[in-house]
Structure 1
Amino acid sequence: PSFIPEALKQALPAVSQYPSVAGTPVLRTAAADYLGRRFRVRIDPATQVLPTAGSKEAIFHLALAVVEPASGRDTVVYGTPGYPVYQSGALFAGGREHPVQLQRERGYRLELERLPAEVLARTAIAWLNYPHNPTGACVDRVYLAAQADVARANGILLASDECYQDLWFDGAEPPPSLLEVTTTGVLAFHSCSKRSGMTGYRSGFVAGDAALIGSFRGWRAHMGVGSPTFIEHAAAMAWSDDAHAAARRAVFAQKFRVLVDGLAAKGIEVLPSRAGLYIWARVPGGAAADAYAQRCLERGIVISPGGFFGAGSDDWFRLALVPSVEECRTALAAWPV
């Protein structure tokens, strides 16, 4: 929306200065107010919010700040299929990865209570991500509370990637936040990219446990990840406005319905979903996902092979709801089966 770049222009300083890793009070307050409106949680902007240069870098850097290989707390738990940055952050930090293959029949839920005790004992971070990338699976507060209980009992930092929380489809319940069940021992990661379409601005925030936020802020002072004040001003305006997010949500829902109906008409199985930015579909005819992605690309259609997201998804592909509604229709007309 035009008010966001306009806010950035108005905030351009005459003299450039290094940004603060703590972020501006204006952005921290806007983020805390958003969490209050959207999830009905009370967050202290001074101690429980940390602005970031998008969510990706913060997700990647968390393991560097938390994982301590020499202490025995060296493991990062995450689900597959899933966002690859959970794995790369663990490996760059010198930790151990523990991917858990998520099952369709269990709702693609990462269930910490089902992990062996010895894995829980050495886990430093466990990642949740619902609405789930790439499947679109959703969870409820009962599930989130159960995972928080397991994490608390085992001294695990429970991290929730909540970049898709504002992208639910028509008639669906708005996805909940981990912060609704607790702010102790947990961190929630949010981004302007999906909610507001601000991908190139690279702006997000982390919210949750005040002690964890303080520690992470201290680590990040060494990482050069402070956002420019003019970016943070634009982000503050975005978090303060819900109308543009609702308008984007309606467009995504329309694109989702057009593509789901169009793929189904071609005999392509699509996983039912209530929220998110993606469609998770099975490769038709038992073909390999990589080969099918190449066939699609030859027709000007970009899909992501399921294997990119980890084990257990080689016969699936992800389709992002990025093109316009008309471009979605054009893609369907050219779609290979």
Structure 2
Amino acid sequence: MNNLIKALKPYPMEELNRIKSQLKEKGVKIYDFGTGDPKEPTDPKIREALIKAVPEISQYPSVSGRKELREAVSNWFENRFGVHLDPEKEIIPSNGSKEAIFHFPLVFIDTDMPEKKKVIFGTPAYPVYERGTLYAGGEPFPVKLKEEEGFLLRLEKIDKSVLEETKIVWINYPHNPTGATASLSYFEDVYGICRENGIILCSDECYTEIYFDKKPPSALQVGKEGIVVFHSLSKRSGMTGYRTGFIAGDPQLIAEYRKGRASFGVATPDFIQKAAEVAWSDEEHVEKRRKIFSEKRDIFLKFFSEIGLDFLYPEATFYFWIKAPQGMSGEEYAKHLLRYGIVVSPGVNFCAGMEVLEGRCSSEYFRIALVPTVEECREAVDIWKKAHEELRI
């Protein structure tokens, strides 16, 4: 096994999971704001489309997926972002976004070119950017995201020598775990630097449809050459278990990725693609989901303000990025809340593994995902308030 990967052992969540199991055994009700997997039902139209499409005889799907699905994605993307995507050359269906993000470096990092093996991403971050890089034999280059900079990855502050050695830059806005958003001008700046240095710009856009005010932009609004975007129905349409999404962008990169993908995967089963086609063709269910997340968000906006916790105001995603009470780390506060059945994710869980190995990871932050129902959120707030007051005793 790759020694770097072997060394990246899970560390903070092990103890938290142990405590969580103990609480369940004692009959304590758990309010799980940890994993970003909301409980809202998948829209009936989507479920019905899947059921009707289950075939009598099951056969392999193709790498390129169903033409009808690619056309539905193309129509949605143009309506949403004003960018036309060629269904034949610029879109590939994927099994959600995680596997596509993980596999992308396997295709594009040339292990025979050590001078161009770096992969830049911001930290805190979704762990897959780093893990996919390591499996592909690349060199992760995590960059600390700062609150005073809006948790934006600032390429202009990275040494030119590093940029010249970089093959891929990952950006993720709206951002997991902080919920930070980026303007179109930010995308323009990042894209310009990537073009100057021959870097592929990969934009993880899985949260663009969970917003409360302004619609977040897509990287493809600033250009196509050298850009690939990753989208998913997991959050937009409540289809986490369906594992369906797409990658799109530069036709040359898409063609290379399609060729490489044939070695390790195909599109989702046809009946899931039929359900995805219905999901991308409908906005009504997405608007309903946004209203529910907005209601949950309002509950915690009021609550955190009342108890005096500092947080990044969430304009998008269903996450809150919150500072623990003064004098406590995010992990310490998370352990305290666990005693009351409140599960949150400590900020250290989103540090890059290389930071952990080198002893550079600590965090005063923790993240909550608005996963429980609206009623459960209200219940959790009452319990959380008592837990928070206990810190003063």
Name the TM-score class by shorter chain: over 0.9
Q: Please report how far the alpha carbon of residue 296 of structure 1 lies from its aligned counterpart in structure 2 after TM superposition.
A: 1.9
Amino acid at match of 1:11: A
Aligned amino acid, residue 291 of structure 1: E
Structure 2 counterpart of 1:205, one-letter code: F
**% same residue:** 46
The more displaced of 187-196 and 130-139 is 130-139
Q: Which moved more, 1:160-169 or 1:294-303?
A: 294-303
1:275 matched to 2:300? The reply is: no
Do residues 125 (structure 1) and 174 (structure 2) align?
A: no
- 2:178 counterpart (108, 112, 135): 135
Counterpart-to-counterpart distance in 1, 2:380 and 2:249: 41
**CA–CA distance in 2 between the matches of 1:316 and 1:55?**
26
1:328 aligns with 2:342: no
Query: Which residue in 2 is equivalent to 1:48?
Result: 90
Matched, 1:165 2:208: yes
Matched, 1:69 2:107: no
Deviation at 1:124, TM superposition (A): 0.8
TM-score of the pair, normalised by structure 1: 0.97
SS for the counterpart of 2:342 is: coil
Say whether residues 1:226 and 2:267 are aligned partners.
yes
> Are 2:71 and 1:29 equivalent residues in the alignment?
yes
Structure 1 residues 182-229: Cα deviation after superposition (integer angstroms, max 9, x where no partner): 111100100000000000000000010001011101111111242100
Aligned residues: 335
Asked if structure 2 preserves the Cα contact closer than 8 Å seen for 1:81 and 1:313, the reply is no
Letter in 1 for 2:289: R
Q: Which of residues 193, 196, 202 in structure 2 aligns to 1:150? A: 193
CA shift, 1:313, in A, is 5.9
2:63 is the counterpart of 1:7: no
Equivalent of 1:176 in 217, 223, 227: 217
Alpha carbons 1:187, 1:209 under 8 Å: kept: yes
Task: Please say if residues 64 and 266 of structure 2, whose CA atoms lie closer than 8 Å, have aligned partners that are also in contact.
Answer: no
Secondary structure at the aligned position of 1:42 is classed as coil
Conserved? CA contact 1:164–1:195, under 8 Å: yes
Distance 1:327 1:22 in 2: 41
Gaps of 5+ in 2: 1-42, 356-360, 389-393
The Cα offsets for residues 228-269 of structure 1, whole Å up to 9 and x where unpaired, read as 000011011000001111110111111111112112211211
Q: Match of 1:253, as an amino acid? A: S
Q: Which amino acid aligns with 1:164?
A: Y
How far apart, CA to CA, are the structure 2 residues paired with 1:323 and 1:105? Answer: 30
* TM alignment of 1:298-313, pairs within 5 A: 298-310=339-351
Shift of the 260–225 alpha-carbon distance from structure 1 to 2, 3 Å rule, reads farther
Question: Judging changes above 3 Å, is the alpha-carbon distance between structure 1 residues 209 and 313 closer, same or farther for their aligned structure 2 residues?
Answer: farther
What CA deviation, in whole Å up to 9, does each residue of 1:150-206 have, x standing for no partner? 11111100000000001111xx21000001111111001000000000000000000
More RCO (CA 8 Å, sep 6+) = 2
- Per-residue deviation at 1:292? 2.0
Letter in 2 for 1:10: K
Question: Does structure 2 retain, via aligned residues, the 8 Å contact 1:54–1:191?
Answer: yes
C-alpha distance in 2, partners of 1:291/1:145? 39
SS of 2:263's partner is coil
Distance 1:107 1:288 in 2: 21
Structure 1 segments, 4+ long, off by >6 Å, are none
CA contact (8 A) 1:260 1:270 kept: no
Q: What is the aligned-residue RMSD (CA, Å)?
A: 1.1
2:134 is aligned, of 74, 91, 102, to 91
Checking the alignment, whether the CA contact within 8 Å between 2:244 and 2:276 is kept in structure 1 is yes
- Indicate whether 1:210 and 2:259 are aligned: no
Task: State whether residues 263 and 332 of structure 1, in contact with CA within 8 Å, keep that contact through their aligned partners in structure 2.
Answer: no
